[in-house]
């Protein structure tokens, strides 16, 4: 499920930042997280579950 993937990717991003990993690696993980979040919202929109004022 996307929620789990987002949580894992967020943890990976946070860990890489804490460990002062290479900028390019952090950026790559950040972009992957952004894509997962966008997919999540697209899925929610299709299902009609996005509230106007969440």
4-47 pLDDT per residue, tens = 999 999 999 999 999 999 999 999 999 999 999 999 998 887 77
CA–CA gap between residue 26 and residue 3 (Å, rounded):
20
Question: Do the beta carbons of residue 13 and residue 26 sit within 8 Å?
Answer: yes
CA–CA gap between residue 49 and residue 45 (Å, rounded):
6
pTM across the whole model: 0.81
Q: What angle in degrees, to the nearest 10, is found between the helix axes of 2-18 and 23-47? A: 160
């Amino acid at each position: 499920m996307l929620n789990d993937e987002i949580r894992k990717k967020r943890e990976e991003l946070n860990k890489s930042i804490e460990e002062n990993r290479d900028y390019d690696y952090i950026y790559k993980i950040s972009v992957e997280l952004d894509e997962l979040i966008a997919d999540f919202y697209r899925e929610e929109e299709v299902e009609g579950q996005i509230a106007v004022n969440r």
